[in-house]
């Protein structure tokens, strides 16, 4: 079959997959069994990684890209998109993930950074990238490097939603302010945000990020998912929140239902019942390492 006039790896097809994931839940999984549970529960994608963030926190040491064999196993186990994480700035890990055929690469602060000044040049890849951000400037810098999806960082592995809320409110609040700014003020906005002026102008025109914005870091309950969706997230990532809870399958399913019906409190009340214990949370003040501080 001739593959006439097909263009792959374009911004439109990269951002397009992010569009398709909207309104869904992307779940962290560490083996094919968990991936099956996630898919059965209605996950719209899975994130393949060796340890969930809560365990990375507990174990310490350097956290790296997962073993390709494990990623292959997860790809075999499910039909939904499979994402995987590379270290910040570690373009060789990202090249390997692309060669493995993963559907999205997460250049993630949850892993130990490989470069303290540079993120990956994401324009150089066919596979799309998602990156974390704590504020609008960070989000726009990642987009200028070629990220096709932004996730607010939150504080991974804590089961505490407070940082995710802080980051979402910061990003969405600044977008609101920029849309109200005069065009002459946008130069100063670009300077203060340390972000490219054309992207700041685009945000001012459209009132939204140029790419989809999802939420991650600390989501542990259906109510958490509803909260961040109501604040303006377009989909959610759940890391430790599912497989560190008492009974992962029903909780996973409840969070999927809550993400769809985020604006319907009676539906949320129904799905929140009888889920057992959520993952034990961590108070932010007691943290030794703030993962959200990683990224430049």
Partner 1 sequence: MKVGVLALQGAFARHLKVLDGLGASGVEVRTPGELASVDALVMPGGESTTISMLLDSSGLRRPISERLSSGLPVLGTCAGMILLAARVTDGRSDQRSFGAIDLDVQRNGYGRQVDSFEAQLAVAGLDEPFHGVFIRAPVVERIGEDVEVLAWVDGSPVLCRQGTVVVAAFHPEMSNDDRIHGCFLDWAFAV
Q: Which residues bind partner 1 (CB under 8 A)?
A: 1-10, 12-13, 16-17, 19-24, 39, 41-45, 79-81, 98, 101-104, 126-128, 253, 256-257, 259-261, 264
For the CB of residue 187, give the shortest distance to partner 1 in the complex, in Å: 29
Is 85 a catalytic site residue?
yes
For the CB of residue 47, give the shortest distance to partner 1 in the complex, in Å: 14
Distances (CA, A) of 39 to 67, 75, 244, 247: 21, 12, 17, 16
Closer CB to partner 1, residue 12 or residue 117?
Answer: 12
Q: Determine how many CB atoms are found less than 10 A away from the CB of residue 258.
A: 26
Nearest partner of 209 among 120, 288, 114, 138, judged by Cα: 138
For the CB of residue 23, give the shortest distance to partner 1 in the complex, in Å: 4
Cβ(206)–Cβ(140) below 8 Å: no
For the CB of residue 113, give the shortest distance to partner 1 in the complex, in Å: 25
Q: Determine how many CB atoms are found less than 10 A away from the CB of residue 246.
A: 11
* Cα 7 from chain centroid (whole Å): 26
189's enclosing H/E stretch is: helix 186-193
Q: What is the Cα–Cα distance from 77 to 74, expressed in whole angstroms?
A: 5
Residue holding tokens 């005069």? Answer: 182
Closer CB to partner 1, residue 27 or residue 190?
Answer: 27
For the CB of residue 145, give the shortest distance to partner 1 in the complex, in Å: 19
Closer CB to partner 1, residue 60 or residue 207?
Answer: 207
Distances (CA, A) of 222 to 55, 192, 204, 276: 22, 36, 33, 13
Q: Exactly one of 14, 85, 122, 153 is catalytic; which is it?
A: 85
Closer CB to partner 1, residue 5 or residue 183?
Answer: 5
Nearest partner of 166 among 273, 53, 290, 266, judged by Cα: 290
Closer CB to partner 1, residue 156 or residue 252?
Answer: 252
Active site residues: 85
């Amino acid at each position: 079959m001739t593959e006439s006039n097909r263009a792959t790896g374009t911004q439109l097809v990269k951002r397009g997959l992010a569009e398709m994931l909207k309104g869904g839940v992307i779940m962290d999984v560490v083996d094919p069994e968990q991936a099956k549970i996630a898919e059965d529960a209605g996950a719209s994608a899975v994130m393949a990684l060796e340890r969930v963030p809560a365990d990375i926190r507990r174990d310490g040491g350097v956290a790296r890209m997962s073993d390709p064999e494990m990623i292959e196993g997860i790809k075999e186990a499910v039909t939904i998109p499979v994402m995987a994480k590379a270290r910040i700035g570690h373009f060789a890990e990202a090249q390997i993930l692309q060669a493995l055929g993963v559907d999205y690469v997460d250049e993630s602060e949850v892993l130990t950074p490989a470069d303290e000044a540079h993120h990956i040049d994401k324009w150089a890849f066919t596979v799309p990238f998602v990156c974390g951000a704590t504020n609008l400037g960070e989000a726009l810098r990642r987009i200028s490097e070629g990220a096709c999806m932004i996730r607010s960082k939150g504080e991974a592995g804590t089961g505490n939603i407070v940082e995710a809320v802080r980051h979402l409110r910061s990003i969405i609040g600044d977008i609101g302010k920029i849309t109200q700014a005069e065009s002459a003020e946008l130069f100063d906005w670009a300077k203060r945000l340390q972000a490219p002026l054309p992207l700041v102008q685009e945000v001012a025109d459209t009132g939204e990020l140029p790419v989809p914005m999802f939420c991650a870091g600390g989501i542990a309950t259906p109510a958490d998912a509803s909260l961040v969706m109501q604040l303006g997230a377009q989909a959610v990532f759940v890391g430790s929140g599912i497989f560190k809870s008492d009974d992962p399958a029903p909780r996973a399913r409840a969070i999927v239902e809550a993400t769809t019906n985020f604006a319907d409190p009676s539906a949320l009340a129904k799905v929140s019942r009888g889920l057992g214990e959520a993952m034990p949370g961590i108070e932010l003040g007691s943290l030794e390492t703030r993962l959200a501080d990683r990224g430049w």
